[in-house]
Chains A and B, each alone.
Chain A
Amino acid sequence: MKLIRELTFPLIAIFAAFLVGAIVITAIGDDPIETYSLLIGSALSWPDGIGYTLFYATPLIFTGLAVAVGFRCGLLNIGAEGQLTIAAFATAWAGIFFANSSAWILIPLTCLVAILSGAAWATVPGVLKARFGSHEVINTIMMNFIAAGVASALTQTYFKEPGDAILESGPIGNSAHIPRLGQIMPGIPARLPLNVAFLVALVACALLYVFLWRTKWGYEIRATGANPSAAEYGGISVKKQIVFAMAVSGGLAGMVAINEVLGYRYRYYQGFSPQYGFTGIAVALLGRNHPVGVLLAALFFGALTRGGLFVDIFTEKVSKDLVLILQALVILFVAAEALFRRRLGKNQTQT
């Protein structure tokens, strides 16, 4: 019952977005029904459609969770992009530096590096906020630029293979590769890039749910986000929670590196992220900052990405920018829904 209630508004928002999107498609001069059936069909076909949809969803689950944790503590982490960039670079570095270790050591080690480097990068704006009160939105945005600069400069200077025209590092050790799902699960073709990182993302959703709602630490984070004054009254150090929540948020963002570096490209590649960090904000918003909602929203965005490619190729006029339009419309309607709900709530509670 509660699930249905929670799902209603996001579904209405998505439906409304598709409706307006249909007008856009018609205006451009294509048939909306054909375009949409192409979009949905290509995203949900077995095995390639679903495989790619899940693959595209994986980084968005991590960044969506990252933003959601921040939100629960009253923080807006705009810096997931920078955190995942630094984490990807650091993970690749570890994978190259310790390339000769066995997989049993190297995989846990590189995963740990992914999480800790993302967490460390996010802790900086956390400490700045707790210590000096400077706003995390400004600082996380700034640190996005720094992260991009630092990662590309270091790659250019130390890790680029001679003669390589692309700004990317050399490959990580083979033992650091995590398997594709096709390699370990029967029935899934090994050509799909979908890898174990997707399963890690599912586990992360479950763990984050338990963490937020079933542990005292999660309680403290949520209390701080709900009402910092009351949290302080309840003996919770708001400053510690800010730093802690930023670290958890950054760690989750850093886990994108598990998918991108350990599971897909096997190297650091400048510009690997099509703004996963920012899309994560939209995912968290659509998913109501709840791990289950984030999972569903990330799958939806993943499907849009997959379907967009086909729309781009197989329609006469509509380009894959349609996906961006749909994403924007969904966000718009989700935001409008907050207004709508407030009005609805007002009518019910006033006496």
Chain B
Amino acid sequence: MLELRNITKRFGNVLANDRVNVVVRTGTIHAIVGENGAGKSTAMRIAYGFYRADEGEILVDGNPHKIHSPHDAIALGIGMVHQHFMLVDTMTVAENIVLGAEPGTAAALDVIGAEKRIRALSDEFRLSIDPGARIEHLSVGQQQRVELLKALYRQARILILDEPTAVLTPQEVDEFFRILRRMRDQGKTVIIITHKLEEVLSISDEVTVMRDGRVVGQRKTAETNAAELARLMVGREVLLRVQKQPATPAEVVLNVCRLSMKSRLSEISFSVRAGEIVGIAGVEGNGQTELIEALAGLIQPSRLGGRVEFQGKDISLLNARERKEMGIAHVPEDRHRRGLLLESSLAENSILGIHYREPAVRRRGGIMLDGTRIRTRAEQVIREFDVRPPDCELPARALSGGNQQKLIIGREFKLPPKLLLVSQPTRGVDIGAIEFIHRKLVALRDSGCAVLLVSAELEEVTALADRLMVIYDGRIVGEVDPAWASKEEIGLMMTGGLRG
């Protein structure tokens, strides 16, 4: 049993943990949920000896222990798998696992003995990992299992997993959860930090909810539900279902005709009308990224075949800037890589893509930026899209994922767009912000904008889309009515098993 008792931790003048009490029973899967910045990772890092608590104590099996470093934690049988893997790409699984705890004498590394033990562990929990494989050749899901093995190899009885599903595809999540259940059934204790409610409900036995550094509730999973957990997390009632009227589609805005890209997209044809949201469901990596980037003008026309028409005009040869000028807005799937200048201020980020024209520059065709108008406009975006903290001089890096996303959405909505290409709009975003973003997307549709939505969250596309297409291996394998199609049917199409 692991117990945190009255744990308090300050970073500067931020109170990250305020008298946190968590009791994790042996042989259970315990979920710690909360929005970004609720203090859940901090609490667990204290348990793992990464940080030291200012006040409070940690009890393992009823006895208080001083855990000053991960070393102490490992000695007590506590292991942690971080959100970002700590693996050396060019080394083998076995080498990575023994790293820092090398077996054998100082001179001779006992790799063979280690491989044997790792293979036994892998078989015991059915992880199907080859100890001799090199990390760089493994999928993300497999790498995560290597991290699990690392903890198990060090004889962890209590495993802390920080947002383990963030990097996994839906199929990998299912497999991963099966592994966790197997571990629990063999007596391990699993603590999973997450902010996804469906995961909490499907995997955990007990759940602790945190908000603003405090524990606001501890429940048996069987005795709670998504609505209650969401209310505890956010601190108010949250609408988990998207509220929307039936769409009233008007003229065709986007018409894609046999769009192809070598080994990525093959002959994709569809159209999107004003006033409707067309969703694209699919397992990640089946061409969604390329499709959206091709439509946004971010892929060289010479690499593409087929035609893209916008409001009846062929735009296949136009670049990203020209397309944006016509009213095509784009919320990219990877906001850190594509969407933001992380070190630059919110004001500077708010003009990315329109920085060369009014109102960002003083005069039409001018070259001087208009600082005052840029700031006014940035403040408007911040206000209308509830970006927090509302300070347009802050660097984008200082914002949470949800607020970064709201800034990008605000910037793109303010174009204003006739067509919005939006990819993974709520990835890594808090529940409260998800609700907000969904409402904004529906409002944009209702104002007559055409929306093309790509999301890896099946729930999200089915809830938002008026029409839903499924993409598999670079082609559209079918279109369904999201209101009627079953999850199983869509899921089968997503894996190429069924054509609609």
Measured CB to CB, the residues of A under 8 A from B are 213-217, 219-220, 222-223, 226-227, 229-230, 232-237, 347-351
Contact = CB atoms under 8 A, between A and B. Distances in A.
B49 to A, nearest CB: 15
A233 B329 CA distance: 11
Contacts of B298: 232-233
A223 B352 contact: yes
Interface stretch (B19-27, B111-119, B258-266, B316-324): B316-324
B371 A230 contact: no
A230 B369 contact: no
Give the top 10 A-B pairs by smallest Cβ distance, nearest first: A235-B321, A234-B352, A234-B353, A226-B341, A235-B320, A216-B356, A233-B338, A215-B367, A219-B355, A229-B337
B340 A230 contact: yes
- Which of the listed residues A220, A222, A227, A237 has the most CB atoms from chain B within 10 Å of its own CB? A227
Given A223-B355, A351-B16, 7 more contacts: A216-B361, A217-B367, A230-B339, A233-B332, A235-B324, A236-B321, A350-B11
A229 B339 CA distance: 8
B203 interface: no
Interface stretch (B34-42, B99-107, B127-135): B34-42
A216 B367 contact: yes
A237 B320 CA distance: 9
A232 B368 contact: no
B352 A233 contact: yes
Nearest to A211: B367
B438 to A, nearest CB: 23
- Which of the listed residues A214, A234, A236 has the most CB atoms from chain B within 10 Å of its own CB? A234
Nearest to A227: B341
Given A214-B368, A348-B11, A350-B11, A233 B343 contact: no
Interface string B340-354: 111110001001110
B388 to A, nearest CB: 15
B8 to A, nearest CB: 14
Contacts of A232: 298, 320
Contact of B343 (A226, A347, A348): A226
B211 interface: no
Given A219-B369, A233-B320, A233-B332, A351 B341 contact: no
Nearest to A224: B341
A351 B14 CA distance: 9
Nearest to B334: A229
Given A234-B352, A347-B11, A226 B342 contact: yes
A224 to B, nearest CB: 10
Contacts of A349: 398
B330 interface: yes
A193 B369 CA distance: 39
A2 B343 CA distance: 16
A350 B338 CA distance: 23
